[in-house]
Amino acid sequence: MSDLNQQMAERYKNNFLKEIEEQAEMGEWVKMCMQCGLCSGSCPTHFHSGWDHPPQEIFMLIRAGKREEVLNSNGMYMCTSCYNCYVRCPRKVPVTHVMHGIAEYAYKMGRAAKAQPTMHLSKVFWTNATKYGRVNEVQLTQSLYFKDGLAAGIKKGLEMKDVALGLVKAKRLNPLEALGIGHKCKDLDGIHRMLAKAYELEAQRKGRDTSKA
């Protein structure tokens, strides 16, 4: 259990709804759900293969104060960001964003399963994008290909070899990006400072003790 998790659990005690409202991005929308189930009904995943809780159940669990069940749920990561629920919600709840917000919060609390692919992609993407100020496609692809080990990564790489060479020929892909050389943005340092400031503001807004996080 992370320090932050302990900190939050203590601070909000039994009021998990308030915790989500204050700590998770878009969490303030959870109370507006009216349990019609249109979000779940609209979801193109149809909750196959192991969705434990569809969105309106997640919302209900939060209101019922079931902290562990929500933070350990895999529901939030199943979202494909198609935005069907967002568009259709009669209460105009930004369901997609709320799900992302809760997923991010669960991750922060150290609860997301390590091999969860959606979470892995998000994490890799974020690290990659913030490191260079823009996405380094070669490194992003590499980290996804080698997620399940060296052999699996090489196999996947060979499978996609022709596509990659085609992209290189068409000058759509710069192999040197693998070494961190290639397109960069101006004032990378400025971007990093901006992000640092944003983290600081977020922590301030959410009342988190950053020294422990």
Partner 1 sequence: MAEMKTAAYICKGCEIGNRVDVASLVKVATKEGKMALVREHDFLCSAEGVALINHDIDHEGVTHIAIGACSRRAKTEAFNFPSVAMTRGNLREGVIWIRPDTEEARETTQEMAEDYVRMMCAEVKAMKVPEGNQKTGTIKTVLVVGGGLSGMTSALEASKAGYKVVLVEKTGALGGWAAKLHMRVPTREPYTTPEDNGVADLVARIEADANIKVYLNARIAKTSGAPGRFKAEIAVESGVTATEDVGAIIQATGFSLYDANKLPHLGYGKSPNVVDQAGLEALAREAAAAGLPIRRPSDGKEVKSVVFVQCAGQRDNTGEHLSYCSGYCCNASIKQATYFKDSNPDIDTVVLFTDLRTPGNGEDFYRAAQNRGVIFSKGVVSEVLANGNTCTVKFKDLILNEDTAAEADLVVLATGAVPNSGPELDALNEAVRLAEGGDEVARTQVIQMMDKSVLNLQYRQGPDIPHFMHGFNDSHFICFPYETRRTGIYTTGPVRRPMDIAQAIEDATGAAMKAIQAVENAGLGKAAHPRAGDLSYPMVRLEGCTQCKRCTVECPFGAIDEDEKRFPLFNESRCRRCGTCMGACPVRVISFENYSVNTVGAQIKAVDVPDEFSEKPRILVLACENDAYPALDMAGLNRNAYDPFVRVIPVRCLGSVNTIWITDALNGGYDGVMLMGCKSGEDYQCHFVKGSELGRYRMSKVYDTLKSMNLETERLLDVEVAITDIATLPARINTYAEQVKAMGPSPFKGL
Residues in contact with partner 1 by CB under 8 A are 17, 31-32, 34-35, 56-57, 60-61, 63-64, 91
Question: Rounded to an integer, what distance in angstroms lies between the CA atom of residue 2 and that of residue 139?
Answer: 29
Q: Determine what percent of the chain falls in helix, strand and coil, rounding each to the nearest 5.
A: 65, 0, 35
Residue placing its CB nearer to partner 1 in the complex, 64 or 194:
64
Q: Min. distance of Cβ 99 from partner 1 in angstroms?
A: 16
Residue placing its CB nearer to partner 1 in the complex, 63 or 97:
63
- Cβ-contact 89, 38 below 8 angstroms: yes
Contacts of 91 (CB under 8 A, 6+ apart): 32, 33, 34, 36
- What are phi and psi for residue 170, nearest 5 degrees? -80, 5
Residue placing its CB nearer to partner 1 in the complex, 52 or 159:
52
Residue placing its CB nearer to partner 1 in the complex, 56 or 96:
56
Q: How many residues are present in the chain? A: 213
Q: Min. distance of Cβ 165 from partner 1 in angstroms?
A: 52
Q: Min. distance of Cβ 17 from partner 1 in angstroms?
A: 7
Tokens 């019922």: give the residue.
64
At residue 172, the 3 state secondary structure works out as coil
Residue placing its CB nearer to partner 1 in the complex, 89 or 173:
89
Distance between first and last Cα of the chain = 12
Q: Min. distance of Cβ 69 from partner 1 in angstroms?
A: 9
Burial 36-52 (b: 16+ CB within 10 A, else e): eebbbebbeeeeeeebe
Residue placing its CB nearer to partner 1 in the complex, 76 or 138:
76
Within the chain, what is the greatest distance between any pair of CA atoms? 59
Q: Min. distance of Cβ 29 from partner 1 in angstroms?
A: 10
Tokens 């303030």: give the residue.
28
Q: Min. distance of Cβ 64 from partner 1 in angstroms?
A: 7
